[in-house]
Structures are given as C-alpha cells and as structure tokens.
Amino acid sequence: MKIEKINTQLIKPLTPTPPDLNKYKISFLDKCLSPMNLAVLLFYQSKPEGQRCLEESLARILVDFYPLAGRYVKEESLVDCNDEGAEFVTAKAADVELDDVVGKNDAGILQHVYPDSYYRCDEDASNPLLSIQATHFPCGGVIIAVSVSHRIFDIPSITTFISAWSSAAHPHKSVQITPSFNIPSFLPCKEHNFGVNLKRSSAEEPAIVAKRLLFDKAALTSLKSGIMADAISGSEIVSGVIAKALIRLDRAKHGKNREFVVFQPVNMRERTIPPQSKHVCANLTFTTLTAPVAASEEIGVQEIVDVIGHGVRTNVAELAGILSPDTDGRDVIIESLGSLMKAISNRETNFIVFSDCSEFEFYEADFGWGKPVWTTITPQRLRSNATVLMRNKEGDGIEAWVHLYQDDMPRFEEDEDIKPFAH
C-alpha cells in the first residue's frame, strides 16, 4: 500500500494551559513502563468535505487533555505542558481503496497508516506525545490513526480521549467528557532500584507476525455450549481456545509438555477501593498472571478458562487497595512487577498473553459522518504468544489478533481448533 504524507502540523490547545498545570508529574507506575507507543485505528467509509472539524475539535479538547500537547522530560519524570502541540498528519492512499484493507488478516499491510512518530520510542524531548494521521482514500473513506505515548496513557485512557474528541467534533452531540489526571497524587514517583527492566534484549529476535482470527456470534454460541460456566464472556472462551492451540504448538516445538503461565492486563479503574472514574487518564492497567499450570495433553478449554479466571480474580483482589490512603501503592507495584519479572525469567515456562480490549467502545467514535466500519488496536513490540482481543462491529463476536514468530504461524493456523477461524 502506497501512502503519501501530504502535510504535518502541530495542533495547539485552543486556550493556554494555566501555569499551575504546566508541570505534570507522571506516576510511579508510568515511570516503570518501557517506552513505547500505543495506537488505535478507526476505519470510516465516508468523511465530510475537508477535515477542519477534526483539527478544530482537537484544539478544543486539548484544553482538557493538556498533557497530550506537551513534551516528556525524562530527566525530571514529568510532562512539560508547554502547549507545543499534538502532531496531525494528513496523508492519502494512491493505489488502494478502503475496502482493500478493512478486515484483512495480515497486520503488515497497515504499517504505513500510522504517523512516523508511532515508531519512535527514544523519548526525546522533541517527540510529540500524541500523533494523529488521517489517511484519505479515493473512494472517500478515511483511516484515523491515534498514537499516544505509553509513558502517560494506557488503552482505557486512549478510549476516553477518542470518545471526547469524536463528541467534540460531532455537530449534534452534546456529551461532555472530562478527563482526570489525579493518579500521580496517589502514586507519586520515587527512585527505587527493584530490578524491573522491561526492555528487550539487544540480541536479534525472530520476526513476529500478527494474524486475525474471527469468532462470530454463531461460533461463540457453539463454543460456549461446551463450557459449564453460564456467565463466561466471549473473550474468555476465545482465550481458552487460542491458549489450547498455543500449548499444542509449544509441545510440538519442544518435544515435551511444558508448564504454562497466562498473563492478562486488567483495567483497574473501577476495581480499586475506592473506585476511580473510567475517565481517569494515566496508566492504571496491571498485568495479572496465573500460577504455573502443567500442560498435559488432556488439558481442555474448560480447565484453561477456569485457570485464567482464577488468576484474574486473585490478582485483582490483591491490587484493589493500590490507591487506598492506608496503603503505599508503590510497594504493591514493586511486588507485582517483581512477580511478573520472576515468572518471565523462567525459560522453561510457556508464556501466553491476552489483552482483552473488547470492553472498549471504539465503534461509537462518530465524528459526524458515521461510526467506524472497523477498528483495531496495535501495541508496539508485542512478544510472541500475545493476543489482542477486540469485539466485532456488530458487538456479538470477537476478533483475535494473534502474534507469533513467523515460522510458527503456519503451524498454528493449521491447528484443528484454529483452522475454522483463520479466514
């Protein structure tokens, strides 16, 4: 796909950020994360004449989302909210139509619809924290790519931003979404050398590819019929099916049954004591993990689903008090990340990761010319055995983006439980 970048500009907040908000100190959890960017892609079949509404509404909401218009100062662990602006890139596709990329199984064809800054992770003080690219197609369709630094935002935060931006751009919407940036007051930064380093090794790793599996309403109904739990969600049953196939793949590669651990990031906003607003903007997503489980050849989807559910519930209960006034949440973070790194250090364990993003309402992002016909999330640098789960447009199915080493993907797609959904 050939994409031509036509124009790049900086969109500044409509009104200056007050002096008392100029220095946004990030939280301890923010500081612990590896530098990278997160991106959400929104696909629209039509757009208004011109895109001034996008730029003007962005300037208006940056008043409330003021850290996104600033620049990160690594040495001071803060965002200088200097109103330098968010990056807005206008691009056009010359050789394809929107229908050529919507719903495709290969994520590689989408690499050029992101702003260039999405691929920069050096945290230079000149890098924008928010970058947006609007890629226009000859048919009139458009892809809006929203890229945000993971240093200050997680996926739920991006959800809040996109909801606020689309509401501000829509001529007939009056929904007011006000973000909160109070998490650093609960979890202030401190220096602590506790051995957590989430950076990748400098050694060259095998190429990782991403392919989409589609589990529609009929498929989920059929799969759930074999599970005893009544309240199980579509993403849970899909996780069980994919994990079972990954366990078989691991057995074939290593010639033996290895124990497995499942990691799953969980949004803690409304799970903390006291609960936080869903519009809190910061990193407040924690990676839960199961206890190591023996991967016998007889292990089934039901058992895997139970293991994942128990792991999430146990971890959430342990993390619930992280913002409580009688708890130093930073100690909870240190213990949680320490357990995570200890688990990862065991080279004889099969690690499986599920990021369940099916709860986020990206399909509601209507800028005034209709809702998206497709959405997808692409975190950078996902490891092999990592899956991102999204709901489909109809809301009754699950799309699973499975990331594997390139040489492993063909065997995975031929798995008897996976083949029906690899289309």
Return d(Cα 223, Cα 141) in angstroms, integer.
Answer: 35
Q: Can you read off the two tokens belonging to residue 402? A: 């499975």
> CB within 8 A of 61, min separation 6: which ones?
161, 164, 165, 168
The string of DSSP codes covering 248-307 is: HHHHHHHTS---EEEEEEEE-TTTSSSPPPTTB-S--EEEEEPPPB---TT--HHHHHHH
Residue at token pair 């998490």: 183
Is 150 part of the annotated catalytic residue set?
Answer: yes
Residues of the chain falling short of pLDDT 70: 48-50, 192-204, 229-230, 379-381
Question: According to the model, what pLDDT value does residue 202 have?
Answer: 45
Question: According to the model, what pLDDT value does residue 192 have?
Answer: 63
Return d(Cα 143, Cα 113) in angstroms, integer.
Answer: 7
Q: Say which CATH number the domain at 25 has.
A: 3.30.559.10
State pLDDT tens for residues 295-346.
887 889 999 999 999 999 999 999 999 999 999 999 999 988 888 888 888 8
Question: According to the model, what pLDDT value does residue 106 have?
Answer: 74
Do 51 and 145 belong together in one domain?
A: yes
Question: According to the model, what pLDDT value does residue 163 have?
Answer: 96
- Residue 195 belongs to some domain of the structure: no
Q: Can you read off the two tokens belonging to residue 189? A: 């930064």
Do 301 and 393 belong together in one domain?
A: yes
State pLDDT tens for residues 155-192.
999 999 999 999 999 877 777 899 999 999 999 988 76
Residue at token pair 């739920």: 156
Do 38 and 121 belong together in one domain?
A: yes
Sign of the alpha-carbon dihedral angle for 269, 368, 101, 221: positive
Catalytic residue of the set 30, 64, 150, 403: 150
The structural domain count of the chain equals: 2
Do 93 and 29 belong together in one domain?
A: yes
Cβ 107 vs Cβ 386: under 8 Å: no
Catalytic residue of the set 80, 366, 415, 417: 366
Do 220 and 341 belong together in one domain?
A: yes
- Residue 342 belongs to some domain of the structure: yes
Do 85 and 163 belong together in one domain?
A: yes
Do 41 and 8 belong together in one domain?
A: yes
Do 292 and 262 belong together in one domain?
A: yes
Phi, psi of 72 (to 5 degrees): -80, 130
Do 403 and 263 belong together in one domain?
A: yes
- Residue 33 belongs to some domain of the structure: yes
Cβ 255 vs Cβ 303: under 8 Å: no
Domain of residue 256 covers 208-358+382-421
- Residue 365 belongs to some domain of the structure: no
Per-residue burial over 131-144, b = 16 or more CB atoms within 10 Å of its CB, e = otherwise: bbbbbbbeeebbbb
> How many CB atoms are closer than 10 A to CB 326?
5
Do 298 and 219 belong together in one domain?
A: yes
- Residue 122 belongs to some domain of the structure: yes
Return d(Cα 179, Cα 281) in angstroms, integer.
Answer: 6
Cβ 74 vs Cβ 125: under 8 Å: yes
- Residue 117 belongs to some domain of the structure: yes
The string of DSSP codes covering 97-117 is: -GGGTTT-SBGGGGGGGS-GG
Q: What distance, in Å, lies between the first and last C-alpha atoms of the chain? A: 21
Return d(Cα 185, Cα 25) in angstroms, integer.
Answer: 9
Return d(Cα 343, Cα 346) in angstroms, integer.
Answer: 6
Count CA within 13 A, CB hemisphere, residue 343. 22
Instruction: Determine if residue 123 is left, alpha or beta; phi over 0 gives left, psi from -120 to 50 gives alpha, anything else beta.
Output: left
Q: Quick check: bond before 274 cis, omega within 30? A: yes
pTM over 0.85: yes
> How many CB atoms are closer than 10 A to CB 35?
17
The helix (run of H) or strand (run of E) holding residue 10 is strand 3-11
